[in-house]
Structure 1
Amino acid sequence: MGAPPDPAQVSDQEEDGGGIPGDGVDNANGTMQPSQKLPGRLLNIPLSNVERLRSTLSSVSLTELIELVPQLRSRSSTSADGHPDKKKLFSVQDFFRYAEFEGKRFFEELDRDGDGQVTLEDLEIAMRKRRLPRRYARDFLRRTRSNFFSKSIGWKQFLSLMEQKEPTILRAYTTLCLSKSGTLHKNQILTSLKSVGLPANEDNAAAMLRYLNADSDGSISYGHFRNFMLLLPSKRLEDDPRNVWFEAATVVAVPPPVEISTGSVLKSALAGGLASALSTSLLHPIDSMKTRVQASTLSFPELISKLPQIGLRGLYRGSIPAILGQFSSHGLRTGIFEASKLVLINVAPTLPEIQVQSVASFCSTVLGTAVRIPCEVLKQRLQAGIFNNVGEAIVGTMRQDGPKGFFRGTGATLCREVPFYVAGMCLYAEAKKAAQHVMKRDLEPWEIVAVGALSGGLAAVVTTPFDVMKTRMMTAPPGTPVSMQMIVFSILRNEGPIGLFKGAIPRFFWIAPLGAMNFAGYELAKKAMIKDESESRE
């Protein structure tokens, strides 16, 4: 940015009637040349610091700045009549330089990873630190971003918003009881509180100083105040700044409850169910190969050699209960996931995003999996060749094991599903953020799908041991008592630890596309539904 100009040199220029090149000041009479555009050029001059701003108050007061700032911003090429004199121009020039310097420093504070982009998560953390409602972060991003699909803002967008709000914030600052240097100390804060009938005591004044990160001398400058006001929605700027500051510093604001839209939850459930059912129907043969490897002593290469005997029809055995089970369970899971997130935002608005996703994913996975287990038992018994069709599988399971037979392997299934979906959703969210950080832009749809596939595949490999146990329990001969402990000891004794990872390769290639559809496909399908709805309204 360059070093700030030396105050003595600026003073000499003022006394000699000189001006800074390109600032639009006539050297002879101290008025503006009509051909120059002052506001745009001021921000290109090296920035000032707080002390330089304070030193100009002898030339122009902050009250006068309120009138000068919008005036200079709106004028571009007018007559010289009516323009402020040269000393006032230098004062306003310092104000612009100071304002941009403080704004740049605040932008860098918000940009936690230093990539030049402020994301929604960055804004949410900033709001949480200042005990402001979480919804302010979304409002700030929505007002500042360059387009509807952008998920972050750069310095140019931040500067544009800053310039729009500057006159309003400056006017609000001057309503406070300022010192001669244009700052606020504890005494000025107490006077300001008394003037509007708020509790004026030492504790409240100290809390308000701490809230705006007062300087070491216990003073609040315009920069401190403006950074706070920039984060507020436009409607809040219309309120008395003393009330707004006092409320934020001394009271924990409670956000209004987020309405749980039935339509939104149903759309989420439908999108999740369709995405999962489609991917299941396409990839069922790979799932059948995985099940046959896990349920027998065959290795994967040995199974490949027997594919001509099994045939395509054999690979699609159990596809009907598989598709129905995935549609119902995954639709229920995604619907509960969205509803749980909204409930958590209401109940615990300060929870980090990753914790909200983890808790919501846990609750939705447990309920969704419980619905799918009977379909999973039928599917795996058909895949393993125990029964020939769905009707035979239902009758045979009921006759030999009773109703509880449809829930065989529930413990192993939950031990597989809960870590898979919790880890998968978190891995997908974090991998997507990392990819956006590296590419410094929003991801294309195919890139989102690739991230979803990789996240699903890795989560699948990690949870393979539980998948092996579930398969062995569900495909055990009807009427045979089995438990997770018996299965684990049997595998370790006869096949070694590597036996717990049987079928990991086909499971990876089966789950990776499922992950792309379940994680990324669900997100893209939901966006498409919302887009269609908005277009139909228009």
Structure 2
Amino acid sequence: MDESFFATFTVPLIAGAAAGTTSDAVLFPMDTIKTRFQSSKGFLRAGGFHRMYAGILPTVLGSAPSGATFFCTYELTKTLIGQFLPNVHAPFMHMLGATAGEIVSDIARVPFELVKQRLQANCHLKASFVVRNILATEGLRGLFRGYFSTVTRDIPFSFIQYPLWEHLKSLWAARQGGPTEPWQGAVCGSVAGCTAAVITTPLDVAKTRIMLADAKGVEVTSSLPQLIVTIGRNEGITSLFSGIVPRMIWIGIGGFTFLGTYDFVKHHLLAFEISRYP
């Protein structure tokens, strides 16, 4: 196998799939709490602490393709920018790579995310019923409701998280005089994730409202900025930060797990390839 192809495509494909599945499965209960806090019904009416794993199946099914497509696109974009635009500074390279990664991976993520959040906020429903209901009332297009709001949320988040993650790893590597270990990358990922989580919570609240709304709800026809203004005006600024504590904990641990797993699997895959072809 060509070494550059292995490093640019195969490694991020496998490592990204492992990272996505691991972090989403481990942290699912915290995600459920966050979603129920952000629901317009309120935490208790949306399910409270009952059936914390409602929606785990679509999450697990969507995690691997989402993580794999993100990191394949992220690494490929960075490689292409490095080849054709060598003067681009590293933070901008990471921002562009993360943007491309989110746009592509959200195509795989959104249908599963939509079903998952419906189940989290309506824990008595079954996944098959939710899917059939969406297809019957909105058609196939309904499974992608919230795609643009998800991208609108994820791009600013990634603009903060990934350049910060890469920068923190660079600082740590320079301080110790050698490449960071996977656990160090995981710590950097946690710090970067928490920082991005705080700043982008209003976007996440609005995205959740869009995904949970009825097909004819006003949220569906509102843009993300319009919905943020509406929520702030009608419910108060604090509503825009609903679920911020579980979101910070979830993404902080998630950043540690997701990016740590990615670095761990990537490190061992590259080491294995080098051992095969010294």
Distance in 1 of aligned mates of 2:257 and 2:10: 18
Deviations 1:327-368 (A, max 9, x none): 111210100111112211221122222222221221121111
Equivalent residue for 2:127?
390
2:89 to 345, 352, 355: 352
Equivalent residue for 1:514?
254
Equivalent residue for 1:145?
none
Distance in 1 of aligned mates of 2:166 and 2:244: 23
Q: Does 1:418 align with 2:155?
A: yes
Equivalent residue for 2:118?
381
Deviation at 1:535, TM superposition (A): 2.2
Contact 2:185 2:263 in 1 (8 A): no
Deviation at 1:431, TM superposition (A): 1.6
Equivalent residue for 1:460?
197
Letter in 2 for 1:505: V
Q: Does 1:284 align with 2:32?
A: no
Contact 1:382 1:390 in 2 (8 A): yes
Q: Does 1:368 align with 2:105?
A: yes
Q: Does 1:261 align with 2:1?
A: no
Contact 2:54 2:123 in 1 (8 A): no
Distance in 2 of aligned mates of 1:459 and 1:297: 26
Distance in 1 of aligned mates of 2:198 and 2:172: 22
Deviations 1:425-462 (A, max 9, x none): 10111122233445566544433221111111211121
1:273 to 1, 17, 20: 17
Letter in 1 for 2:15: A
- Alpha-carbon spacing, 1:438–1:533, altered in 2? closer, same or farther (3 Å): closer
Please list, as runs of the form range in 1=range in 2, the aligned pairs for 1:28-43 lying within 5 A after superposition.
none
Distance in 2 of aligned mates of 1:533 and 1:260: 8
Equivalent residue for 1:472?
209
- Alpha-carbon spacing, 1:399–1:486, altered in 2? closer, same or farther (3 Å): farther
Distance in 1 of aligned mates of 2:88 and 2:179: 25
Distance in 2 of aligned mates of 1:520 and 1:420: 18
| Structure 1 spans left out of the alignment, 5+ residues | 1-258
- Alpha-carbon spacing, 1:486–1:423, altered in 2? closer, same or farther (3 Å): closer
Q: How many residues align?
A: 272
Q: Does 1:328 align with 2:65?
A: yes
Deviations 1:94-144 (A, max 9, x none): xxxxxxxxxxxxxxxxxxxxxxxxxxxxxxxxxxxxxxxxxxxxxxxxxxx
Deviation at 1:499, TM superposition (A): 1.0
Return the TM-score normalized by structure 1.
Answer: 0.48
Letter in 2 for 1:262: F
Contact 2:33 2:48 in 1 (8 A): no
Equivalent residue for 1:211?
none
Deviations 1:235-290 (A, max 9, x none): xxxxxxxxxxxxxxxxxxxxxxxx99333212211101111111100110110010
Deviation at 1:517, TM superposition (A): 2.9
Which SS does the other structure have where 1:298 is aligned?
Answer: coil
Please list, as runs of the form range in 1=range in 2, the aligned pairs for 1:85-100 lying within 5 A after superposition.
none
Contact 1:341 1:356 in 2 (8 A): yes
Taking only aligned residues, the RMSD between alpha carbons, in angstroms, comes to 2.3
| Larger RCO (CA within 8 A; separation ≥ 6) | 2
- Alpha-carbon spacing, 1:369–1:387, altered in 2? closer, same or farther (3 Å): farther
- Alpha-carbon spacing, 1:445–1:486, altered in 2? closer, same or farther (3 Å): closer
List 4+ stretches of structure 1 deviating above 6 A: none
Letter in 1 for 2:167: E
Deviation at 1:486, TM superposition (A): 5.3
Same amino acid, percent of matched pairs: 29
Contact 1:378 1:390 in 2 (8 A): yes
Deviation at 1:306, TM superposition (A): 4.4
Distance in 1 of aligned mates of 2:207 and 2:3: 36
Deviation at 1:419, TM superposition (A): 1.3
Contact 1:387 1:393 in 2 (8 A): no
Distance in 1 of aligned mates of 2:181 and 2:160: 23
Deviations 1:355-394 (A, max 9, x none): 2222122112111112211111111111110762221111
Which SS does the other structure have where 1:463 is aligned?
Answer: helix
Which SS does the other structure have where 1:317 is aligned?
Answer: coil
The answer to which structure has the higher helix fraction is 2
Deviation at 1:493, TM superposition (A): 2.7
Which SS does the other structure have where 2:27 is aligned?
Answer: helix
Distance in 1 of aligned mates of 2:159 and 2:13: 18
Structure possessing the higher radius of gyration over alpha carbons? 1
Distance in 2 of aligned mates of 1:317 and 1:386: 6
Deviations 1:9-30 (A, max 9, x none): xxxxxxxxxxxxxxxxxxxxxx
Moved more, 483-492 or 503-512: 483-492
Distance in 2 of aligned mates of 1:260 and 1:530: 10
Distance in 1 of aligned mates of 2:74 and 2:184: 23
Which SS does the other structure have where 2:253 is aligned?
Answer: helix
Distance in 1 of aligned mates of 2:68 and 2:25: 15
2:137 to 372, 382, 400: 400
Contact 2:18 2:261 in 1 (8 A): no
| Structure 2 spans left out of the alignment, 5+ residues | none
Equivalent residue for 1:432?
169
